[in-house]
Every structure is written in structure tokens, then in C-alpha cells.
Amino acid sequence: MPEARNDRLFQAVNHGFLTLVSLSMLLPFVHLAAVSLSSPMYVTANMVVFWPRGFHLAVYRDVFGLAAMWRSMAVSAYITVAGTLLALAFNSSLAYALSRPAMKGRKYVLQGVLVTFIFSVPLIPSFLVVRSLGMYDTLWALIVPGALAAFNVILMKTFFQSLSSELFDAAKIDGCGEFAVYWRLTVPLSKAVFATIALFHAVGQWNSYFSAIIFIKSRTLLPLQVVLREMIVDDQFSSAMSGNMEVAALSTPAMMKAGIIVVGTLPILIVYPFLQRYFVQGAMLGSLKE
């Protein structure tokens, strides 16, 4: 009886603590959303906290009226989708091979993967490789170098090893080759871990801007996060909006910055609920091994 009471107390404290941590991460975003949706009079007077006052959507009309915003958003959407698909193909194929006992030399390949997990590639060699492969100032420079990650390979390898070996033996008896086993058996049974890796990679790809600063020279190829950073840090949206008196009357710099941050964050928040069930399942099962 005391153990059950202690367990309930621990669960209550744990849930309360995690709720506070979640709120501490969510409330800043809620505040920015409220600022972006409020009237300039209330924002200037610092009267907006977590609920908009004098509700209007002028900020988002102005933000989406910027040509650079739409162009950079298209670039980010492309590299996120293409990069995630390529990452799933690379990581899952290597992880499947490493999970098969019949693979020769898989111990040494796995050791090589672990080395990249501990030691990251220096910037200058990475830049030289990208340039020598002809990917400099192309979107491939933002997609290919980060497509294969040691953590994702290890997570998927562990998940594949948790699948019943009898299924693979039955498929081999039915005449399936390795690729058929991978494509027709392993992939359909691994939706959870695929969704987990897809979410990991998509969030990282959508939020990345350092690679674009290093590898991209053309402004038309800059992703959304770089453009938003320039607007927020360098106040470039002020020059883009200069001369538009209507915008100046309906928006303040603080409101524009808040709206830009919301626009950059909201897409990935919309995607997450659709992958949450698979994400939790994949993260749990990927940690188990037969």
C-alpha cells in the first residue's frame, strides 16, 4: 500500500514537472503569436501577454506579401521533403544491411559509423568535398551532406533487429531476395521508426541555416530560416517595407518580428501531430533488442 501511494506521488510530481517544462517551452511561442495578432497600440504599451488585444491579421498579410518569403519557403519545403526522403533511403538501406547477420564485414562498417557519431567532419574538409563534387551553390549541398547520420542508422538498425527473424526466413524460403525482403517486408513493418527518423530529419532540415550560409551564394537559393534571420537580426524587413505607410500604421517592428518567427515555426508544428503516434512508438521500440 505505501509503495502504491509513493508511486502515485511520483507520477503526480513527474507529470507536474513535465507540464511546467512544456509550458516554459510553449508560452514564448504563444506570446509571440499574441503580439503578432494584436493592435500596435497595445503592443507598444506592452499590454499583450498571452492573448491578442485588438485582433487583426495585418502582420501576416504584410509578411506573406514579401516575395523573398514565398521563394525561401518554397526552397525550405523542397529541401525538407527531398532531404527527408533521401535520408530515409540512405539510413534505412544501410541499417538493414548492418542488421543482417549474413553481411560480411558488418562489424567494421558499424565501427566506422560509430566513429562518425563521435567525431564530426570539420568545416573546411566538408566545404572542399562539397565544392569538388560540384554541389556548391546548389540545393544538393543542403540535402546530401546531412542525409546519412550515425544516430539514425543505429536507431533503425536496432529496430530492424527487433523484428522477428522467422519472418525473414519465411520470405527467403518463398524466394525473396534481400532487396525484396527489405522493400516488401521490412519497410511496411517499420512505419514507426521511419516516421521517427523522418520527424528528426525534417525538423533539423527545416530549422537549419548554417549550411546555407556556408554553401549557398545565390540569394534565390536561400532557405526560409536564413531569410528570417536576416529580417529579424538585421532588420531587413524594415527596408523591404519602407515607403508603405499603411504597413507602418498597422504594424510595428516587434509585431513584424513576432509574425516572422511564427511563420517559420508553425509549419513543423502542424506536421508533428500527424506523426506523433508513430514517433512515440518508434522511439520506444527502437531502444529494444531481441
pLDDT digits (tens, 9 = 90+) for 105-130: 888 888 888 888 888 888 888 899 99
CATH of the domain at 108: 1.10.3720.10
Same domain, 9 and 39: yes
Residue 290 lies in a domain: no
- List CB contacts of 232: < 8 A, sequence separation 6 or more: 257, 260, 261
Same domain, 14 and 154: no
Same domain, 171 and 124: yes
Q: For residues 156 and 193, is the Cβ–Cβ distance under 8 A? A: yes
Identify the domain boundary among 56, 73, 96.
56
How far from 45 is each of 39, 235, 246, CA to CA, in Å? 10, 21, 20
Name the least confident of 72-81, 94-103, 204-213, 236-245: 236-245
Q: What is the mean pLDDT of residues 87-106?
A: 89
Domain count, the chain: 2
Q: For residues 73 and 223, is the Cβ–Cβ distance under 8 A? A: no
Would you say residue 45 has pLDDT above 80?
Answer: no
Same domain, 77 and 47: no
Q: How far apart are CA 144 and CA 13, in angstroms?
A: 44
Give the domain extent around 160.
Answer: 57-285
Same domain, 9 and 125: no
Mean pLDDT score across all residues of the chain: 81
Same domain, 117 and 4: no
Identify the domain boundary among 22, 38, 56.
56
Same domain, 235 and 98: yes
pTM: 0.78
Confidence at residue 1, expressed as pLDDT on a 0 to 100 scale: 56
Q: What is the mean pLDDT of residues 199-219?
A: 87
Q: How far apart are CA 67 and CA 227, in angstroms?
A: 11
User: Which of 126-135, 225-234, 257-266 has maximum average pLDDT?
Assistant: 126-135
Of the CA atoms within 13 Å of residue 198, those in its CB half-sphere come to 20
Amino acid identity, residue 247? V
Same domain, 146 and 23: no
Same domain, 49 and 69: no
Same domain, 19 and 77: no
